[in-house]
Structure 1
Amino acid sequence: MTVIELDLDAVLDTLDQMSSQRPVAAQIVATSNNENCGASQLAAILGADITLAAKVMKLANSAYFGLSGRVRSLQFAVAVVGFNTVRSVATVALSGTDEAQTVPDGFWKTSVHLAAACGALGPQFDERTADAMCLGLLAQLGAALLHQADPEGYVELMSRTDFGMRRFEEEARRYGICSTQLTAEALHQWSFPTEMVDALREVRSGDQGALLRTAYELTARSLYTRHRRTPLERLSQGKVTDAQASAKLAAIKDDVETLRSAMGL
């Protein structure tokens, strides 16, 4: 196996360069980190980008947030979905991962499943559903960055590894960092909450990574028939059992369709 010396600083610099191309998205990410920022201020910034504003409005009015058709103003929409969700939607635009040619095959299908899985599991890990959903939605940003840095090599790596923990191990061997840990460094650079960054950094081991580890396993079971299963009890530190898998997978399937429609993915 060829080992690639990944220039982490150069990879992260490409994200900063995109800020000038997506000024509203960059301003949302920066502003939402300010503790003094309110929903009205964030809504005013969001309103300058019709596409982002429409996505937030559609999410707020989706069944996922339980207020179908009742959210009429952008300020109310921001309050309903929460700052983390608005920031995550803006980050997708800022990173360029909403452009199909920049990401691996199946990227968004997998990301929406991860978002749904994290959201469905969140309460069992003492996480708000919306915040957990954002963690899953953004988790694969690092995979997109690895794909951009090493297109042929990363596609080959994907073809011979199971989605989830085994792929993380191969990524770490080839690049010195796995995809979710690379996502963590990107979100840390953009001043995302420490809890989200730590969950991504500890996905291979560590208490904070249990929710995301479990979500990756359930996503793999949903999408890949040949996936070699890892017991949920081990990944979740006992918070989710294999006896609960069928019910969880059914809930995730329902949420996937809602999120995909609401986010236009």
Structure 2
Amino acid sequence: MTVTPFPGSDTRVAPVPVFDIEKVLASIETMAAQRPVAAQIVSVANSDDTSAKALARILASDVALASRVMKLANSAYFGMRGRVTSLQFAVTVVGFTTVRTMATVALTNLDDESRLPENFWDVTTSLALAASSLAPRFGERPQESLCLGLLAQMGAALLHHNDPVGYGEILASEPTYRGRRSAETRRYGINGLRLTSVALEQWGFPVSLTTPLKEIDDDRSMDGALLRAAFEVAARLTVEDYEDEPIVRLTCGRLREDDVVPVLDQVRADAAELRRAMLGETAASDDPSGNPEEWTP
């Protein structure tokens, strides 16, 4: 399916490329061939007959990815500081969906910042932590909402990878995330969040992760309210001179401004550690359980 941009494309950006969703998704399969363990995890983690032991056995074959799962399991987010010393326990702590999300990050090269839009992980960690923190207010599970935030921008990364010059100009001309989605649609015929949903559907991710990506721009839809709130938190933390949108309107009255203040504080406190876990970065204060020499499959 070739997607052509809508009439009235933004003339401020470079000439519009022919955008083929199938070609972009096929490029992910090429990436997956270079990360076979991550691809296998994405494939099997959603199977009813997959156990934590079996998933840990597969995960152990990719030392870098296994180390990241260990680091996340031992992070402040899960409250297990230094107590997770086996991969099987780590898989149990973070959950299958989280392991699958981390594998998706690896196989789509979202851990290679040289190929990503500017400030990608600053925004992504803010989205993930905000969505997780606010999830109970919307009747959602925090860990699944964390995964939603971690994966939401995958489509934007794919657009950037296939059109770095044009996408860079979108970033420069559209400071807000809603504005960027509109510009993406004008240029490519699809926005980054919708492209993420297409990819996740193709890989069999649950509708609880794909529906919010489709409903985010309908301010009357509760299905997109949590993700809208998460993007608002991310914008307040990452967009210079940002003009706040009313959180009451964005969330169909579910949240008020007082609800956002502690979330902003939590994101500020935890974002750096989540980033290190997702990208495999180290810090002097990191627990040694993140070291592959210290744990057992």
**Where on the TM-score scale, by shorter chain, does this alignment land: which range?**
over 0.9
In structure 2, the partner of 1:27 is 40
Which of 127, 130, 147 is matched with 2:160 structurally? Answer: 147
The 3 A distance-change label for structure 1 pair 26 and 6 is: same
Cα displacement (A) at 1:49: 0.6
Deviates more, 1:165-174 or 1:70-79: 165-174
Q: Percent same amino acid at aligned positions?
A: 46
Alignment of 1:24-173 (within 5 A): 24-173=37-186
- How many residues align structurally? 265
The C-alpha deviation readout for 1:37-84, integer Å capped at 9, x for no partner, is 111111110011111111111111111101111112111110100011
Preserved CA contact (<8 Å) 2:130 2:230: yes
What stretches of structure 1 move > 3 A for 4+ residues in a row? Answer: 2-5
Cα displacement (A) at 1:138: 0.9
Q: Which amino acid in structure 2 is aligned with residue 143 of structure 1?
A: A
Cα displacement (A) at 1:207: 2.6
2:19 and 2:249 map into 1 onto residues whose CA distance is 31
3-state SS in 1 of match to 2:33: coil
Alignment of 1:236-247 (within 5 A): 236-247=251-262
1:17 and 1:239 map into 2 onto residues whose CA distance is 42
Segments of structure 2 that go 5 or more residues without pairing to the other structure are 1-9, 282-297
The 3 A distance-change label for structure 1 pair 260 and 97 is: closer
In structure 1, the partner of 2:23 is 10
Deviates more, 1:95-104 or 1:253-262: 253-262
Preserved CA contact (<8 Å) 2:59 2:66: yes
Normalised by the length of structure 1, the TM-score is: 0.95
In structure 2, the partner of 1:211 is 226
Q: Which amino acid in structure 1 is aligned with residue 61 of structure 2?
A: A
2:170 and 2:98 map into 1 onto residues whose CA distance is 31
3-state SS in 1 of match to 2:117: coil
Deviates more, 1:182-191 or 1:200-209: 200-209
Q: Which amino acid in structure 1 is aligned with residue 174 of structure 2?
A: T
Q: Which amino acid in structure 1 is aligned with residue 233 of structure 2?
A: L
Which of 265, 274, 281 is matched with 1:250 structurally? Answer: 265
Report which of the two structures shows the higher radius of gyration computed on alpha carbons. Answer: 2
Q: Which amino acid in structure 2 is aligned with residue 166 of structure 1?
A: G
Preserved CA contact (<8 Å) 1:165 1:213: no
Which structure has greater helix proportion?
1
Preserved CA contact (<8 Å) 1:162 1:228: no
1:229 and 1:103 map into 2 onto residues whose CA distance is 26
Normalised by the length of structure 2, the TM-score is: 0.85
Q: Which amino acid in structure 2 is aligned with residue 228 of structure 1?
A: E
Cα displacement (A) at 1:4: 4.6
3-state SS in 2 of match to 1:20: helix
Preserved CA contact (<8 Å) 2:56 2:88: yes
Which of 207, 213, 216 is matched with 1:200 structurally? Answer: 213
Cα displacement (A) at 1:186: 1.0
In structure 1, the partner of 2:245 is 230
RMSD: 1.4
Structure with larger RCO (C-alpha < 8 A, sep 6+): 2
1:234 and 1:131 map into 2 onto residues whose CA distance is 24
Deviates more, 1:129-138 or 1:204-213: 204-213
1:91 and 1:22 map into 2 onto residues whose CA distance is 10
Cα displacement (A) at 1:258: 2.8
Cα displacement (A) at 1:231: 0.9
Segments of structure 1 that go 5 or more residues without pairing to the other structure are none
